[in-house]
Amino acid sequence: MTTVSHHNIVDFIEDIIERRGSESYLGEVVSMREHFLQAADLAARDGASDSLIAASLLHDVGHYTSEFGENAIELGIDNLHQDAGASVLVDFFPPSVVQPVKMHVDAKRYLCAVEPAYFDGLSPASVQSLAAQGGPFDKSEVESFESSPWLDDAVRLRRYDDGAKVQGRSTPGFSDYVELLRSLVMTPD
Ligand SMILES: [Fe+2]
């Protein structure tokens, strides 16, 4: 198995998505690849920063942590896909990419607490996973979430995530984001 480094992280992720992107996205009508690309495209159309476009594209990379082999074990990955995604990205991408990924599930719990109409718009699969994720935030969880400097980006990513489930929507491909992703990869000191 290839060891992941800052030299090959973008190719490594592209390879995973090429091989496994046609798997269906957690009970939704789109494939994983369509879901990632739609999320990135929604971010780009919304005028998001490069970091937030990258976060939108990579937000569910935590579903593939077994692909990261030794790195995954080293990084102490658990089964929560948002933490797993952040863990595999943290060595290679800045906090502006990693933090919104890490917070994208909590952002759903946050929005369910503060925006009643948000819950009504969730897909059936997303409502089902909400319970397993802990349900809507309570008041103190809302306050603590709002104190994060990444609140705005995490909520924006969440909305792109929720919107990225449209059957048959055409988008740019992964290769259209390679340059943007490479520009964000951190080089070790
Ligand atoms: Fe997602």
189 in a domain, yes or no?
A: no
Cα separations (Å) of 126 from 114, 130, 146?
17, 6, 22
Q: Quick one: pLDDT at residue 76?
A: 47
Write the CATH number for 50: 1.10.3210.10
60 C-alpha to center of ligand 1: Å?
5
189 C-alpha to center of ligand 1: Å?
32
Q: Any bridge partners for residue 31, and if so which? A: 24
Residue carrying structure tokens 């340059």: 179
Q: Quick one: pLDDT at residue 3?
A: 81
59 C-alpha to center of ligand 1: Å?
6
100 C-alpha to center of ligand 1: Å?
12
177 C-alpha to center of ligand 1: Å?
17
163 in a domain, yes or no?
A: yes
Whether the CB-CB separation of 103 and 86 falls below 8 Å is answered with no
144 in a domain, yes or no?
A: yes
Q: What is the length of the chain?
A: 189
3 C-alpha to center of ligand 1: Å?
26
Q: Any bridge partners for residue 24, and if so which? A: 31
7 C-alpha to center of ligand 1: Å?
26
145 C-alpha to center of ligand 1: Å?
19
Whether the CB-CB separation of 52 and 157 falls below 8 Å is answered with yes
186 C-alpha to center of ligand 1: Å?
24
The count of domains in the chain is 1
pLDDT (tens place) for every residue of the chain, 189 residues total: 668 889 999 999 999 999 999 988 877 789 999 999 999 999 999 999 999 999 999 999 988 877 876 555 455 444 567 777 888 899 999 999 999 999 999 999 999 999 989 999 888 888 888 888 889 999 999 999 999 999 999 999 999 999 999 999 999 999 999 999 999 999 887
4 in a domain, yes or no?
A: no
161 C-alpha to center of ligand 1: Å?
5
35 C-alpha to center of ligand 1: Å?
7
155 in a domain, yes or no?
A: yes
187 in a domain, yes or no?
A: no
| Residue 31 φ/ψ, nearest 5 degrees | -80, 165
Q: Quick one: pLDDT at residue 11?
A: 95
Q: Determine the 3-state secondary structure of 140 from DSSP.
A: helix
CA distance 14 to 95: 21
For residue 64, give its domain range.
9-182
Q: Quick one: pLDDT at residue 73?
A: 46
1 in a domain, yes or no?
A: no
Token pair for 44 = 């780009």
166 in a domain, yes or no?
A: yes
CA distance 102 to 81: 9
